[in-house]
Amino acid sequence: MKTRQLGNSALKVSAIGLGCMGLSHGYGAAVDTAEGISLIRHAFEQGVTFFDTAEAYGRGANEELLGEAVAPMRDEVVIATKFGFRNGDPAQGVDSRPQRIREVADAALKRLRTDRIDLFYQHRVDPNVPMEEVAGTVKDLIAEGKVRHFGLSEAGVDSIPRAHAVQPVTALQSEYSLWWREPKQTVLPVLQELGIGFVPFSPLGKGFLTGAIGAGTTFASNDFRSIVPRFSPEALQANQALVGLLAGIAKDKGMTPAQIAIAWLLAQRPWIVPIPGTTKRRRLEENLGADAISLSTADLREIDAALEMVDIEGDRYPPALQQLVGR
């Protein structure tokens, strides 16, 4: 697999990473530990060197899974994890106090079975802690050798420069996909100016862009999508127009909708590294196949023109969680 450099930093990773959250959290029951380890190691065998996790994904369970999976090849991979929620639970609100950041770092190092965190993100901006204080704490952790790079997740255009002025930000992680294109107008220009990489999560729209979710699909209560407005019955029905459009483009080009969606992201900037997640080996291999796809300028114009014809219905977060993004 090709590699990419995250902004102006020295951090190079596989062009497509693996979001590990769904193996332990967010989309129903956690996978069997052996199955999760097998999937992560298969991703590595296919060229993936960038793995994303967080304390908040199963209260540390996802970090433990990833740590065990990559232990044999630790020096060949880049691990990203996150701090920023009280007791590692998003339902309890944000907490980026310096003491808490340090506690999360030390606990993550143990769970990940490692002596350093390659990329340490603030999961969500904490309005009660100045960004300069957050960045300064991570700067100290970098000086101590516990962390190598600093990142932000879902931060807004005001917070990013403030953090970057204290400790250079290597990457911003936020949602970005064919059905959430807002970052192109807001944060991408800021990242370009400051030399910061971009790591889109949910590049397949939480599974929607694969075409596997129909108008009548329902979700279990332990599936995050059950509370997301964009996955309400009415929105699912309305948003099938996007799936149909994407399927048509993919068929014409001999690709799958998922591959088109990921290839589109890769074509936006050379410092963008999407991290699709999956629990299935066949989906993993399908996603990684996008690395071999080069969309031409004409292809991108065709896709963008088609997207302008489709209105997406529903917010990407319920109100309480929507308040945590873009700050």
In three-state secondary structure terms, 27 is: strand
Distance CA 26, CA 321 (A): 14
Query: Hey, what are 167's tokens?
Result: 């400790």
**Taking a C-beta distance cutoff of 8 angstroms, is the pair 279, 29 a contact?**
no
**Taking a C-beta distance cutoff of 8 angstroms, is the pair 145, 176 a contact?**
no
Which among 27, 57, 121, 176 is annotated as catalytic? 57
Q: Is 57 a catalytic residue?
A: yes
Distance CA 255, CA 291 (A): 12
| Beta strands 117-122; 18-19: pairing state | unpaired
Q: Which of 100, 123, 114 is nearest to 146 (CA)?
A: 114
Q: E-strand spans in the chain? A: 3-5, 12-14, 18-19, 50-52, 78-83, 117-122, 147-153, 169-175, 197-201
Residues, the chain: 327
What residues act catalytically?
Answer: 57
